[in-house]
Structure 1
Amino acid sequence: MNRLLTPPGELDLVRYPVDPRDPLRAWDAADEYAVRHLDGLDPAGAVLVFGDRWGALTTALAHLRPTLVTDSYLAREAAAENLRRAGAGDGVRLLTTRDAPPGVIDVLVVRVPKSLALLEDQLHRLAPAVHAGTVVVGTGMVKEIHTSTLELFERILGPTRTTLAERKARLILCTPDPALVRPANPWPRTHPLPGDVGVVSGLTVTNHAGVFSAERLDIGTRFLLQHLPARSGPEHVVDLGCGNGVVGLAAALGNPGAELTFVDESYQAVASAEATMAANAPATTARFVVGDGLAGQPPASVDLVLNNPPFHVHQSTGDATAWRMFTGARAALRPGGELWVVGNRHLGYHVKLRKLFGNCEVVAANPKFVILRAVRTGVLR
């Protein structure tokens, strides 16, 4: 059952992309708890929802004409679809974490994100719009709310407490203090790359809050950088799931004749990639796209796709995202085009790639990671 029971009635909610076979719900007990707590609220001014994962909170509060702020393209599309299904989209605004928030916020609802850094950055961005009378309610599962979470609310907004847990969910209740002296927002941050990663060794990359491995180069990407193919001449290269853009940067510096496209479903990630390229390869012809993988890329228009797919989505794990990335890459590649993937050995990506491409070669492997190469043959398997 994927229906969220709210005081006004049941909501039929979906995740995005919509897949009738998807067994995962588009809401959880934390969403339910917040909706019940906010029942009867009738604010005179602006309501803002931050971090809604699949649009459950935004849709349940649609009668209050809220503004949604999200870092996720998929969450934004899910919210739009769920509002459409509920016939409740009038007056609801859908913003990203890169947009300017409303000037005054009377109700702030925060779905606690997995990334503490993203929460820190967004509380800093929203704090100037919060006043003494603002109702601030955070919500999350017990395992998602830590002492460090509460300390962020205390340090940036004001006195904070939690409710008792209900069905393993908990609320965060914060009383804004206009006199609070807030520390400076530490995001975005930069860090230098190590000296053993080819053409990008020693360069500095930019990371906005919430981007994967924002403090240092992750070991999977490091392994891929050490084994990138030597290429030359005009070609179209895609850094798929680009994060801070370091892989695409390496491809651009390794082949100055290449045109680059950076794609991620995170607005923070794409902003990071754009800043990384501006600092290190400003002359490169590059596009920066927020979207669902290569869904919007014209067929047979790409020569090389470089990919380090995620296998965590919020608190769930699986290969659905990787599969969408692989199928999108196959459709976007020209005949003879290549997909290079780095992943944990235990994930078994070689099985999926052989099924999809009809071929898969191990380029390099170590005890933890494997780099795979699949070639678009033009024959559907």
Structure 2
Amino acid sequence: MIPDYLDLGCTEIVNSARAAVYAERYCLLTACGPCPGLPEAINDQPYVDPVTDPAPWYDPAVPESAMFLGVMGVDAVGFSTSTRSRTPVQLIGDGAALGIARRSHRELAYTVLLLVREECALPYAQEWLAAALQGAPCEGECLGDEIGVFSCCPEGDGLRELRHLYGVGLIDGPDVTAVRYMDEGVIAEVTFVLAAAPWIYREPLAGLGDWITLRDGALLTYDPDEVYADCVDPTPCLRDPLCPAPPLPVRAPVPVDPCYPTGAAEFRRSVVSLTPDDQPEWLEAVPVLELETGSTALRRLIVRFWANPLGSDCMDVADPCAACTDIQISYLPPGATLLVDGRTQRAEVTCAAGSQDSVTSAPTLYGPLGQSFEWPVFSCPTGLCIEILSTSATTSAEARARVLLVPRSDVG
């Protein structure tokens, strides 16, 4: 990743292109600005000065903020190292048990330059950076922020080079390591370290992402109990019918959705597909589901995923026993927006609460048969069929949904 841009919690922290323009304007630096395509990629107009633009740190109530010329990236370490590791356990005899491979958190160490026109502006620059690195303000449990970075100098809209990391928070710094005083201003070198979840995400694949009006889906009669009745586990070939194995210890029961639907009902069925050619061959991917209920409450929502390596017509793929997984939600209120995000492994429902306010809640997700839900990861380019079902009587004319598929990697 290049060190020239960092957006944390929707706040621009590092922008070397902006800092270079301001610094050259006031003769603090005369070097060519890095990444000339950066302003276009982040949809910025040509930079003028901190007040005119205005810059993210500019505050009319703090005159020194106009003297702060920005943050220029020098180095960013931690993106190109895999966080995957395993600890072998030595056996009593020869060799070792490999153990379970897991990924730890990722640490991102940044070195940046704070550019100011006069010494009195340096304390404000340090204060602003320290505050901005705390991330976006949140209520209740804070689970970290999203950062946006670029893998190389962007061109055009920058989507090909843009990368995202989640669960990001400051763990060290910012610390001033050196200060250089010049006739034209002051340059301070600062370091800080961010912790993040291990995965580095690209933009969603282009093959999916269009909104689907759920009311336009095909009408069918659907009985979940009858559909799953034939889903049986295969009998192991070594099971002796004349000498059955002893029974296993009783396991704790799996929690089941208390409102899991029983009996037949009329459903609306919409299907979207992704071909194997649309998926990266060496990158795994996770889904993101977005849904808007419209004017009425939506009940018995089922979103089902199938692998489709042969490229069959997805309208003909309807065997729940062969599905990769389900996302099932028994109830969504009217006027609600649902987000089920495989990148952060969090789900939330946002509902209107009065004329201007809204409230966000975490829905309970269930899997097949209303049982435990597991976050799906698609590790091979098998193609996908995605089926969206909801009861016809509760599907409003405004209800719509879309499913995104987001590639990710362990290094970048």
Common fold by TM > 0.5: no
**Bigger relative contact order, structure 1 or 2, given CA contacts below 8 A and separation 6+?**
2
**Radius of gyration: which is bigger?**
2
Q: Give the alignment's TM-score, normalised by structure 2.
A: 0.23
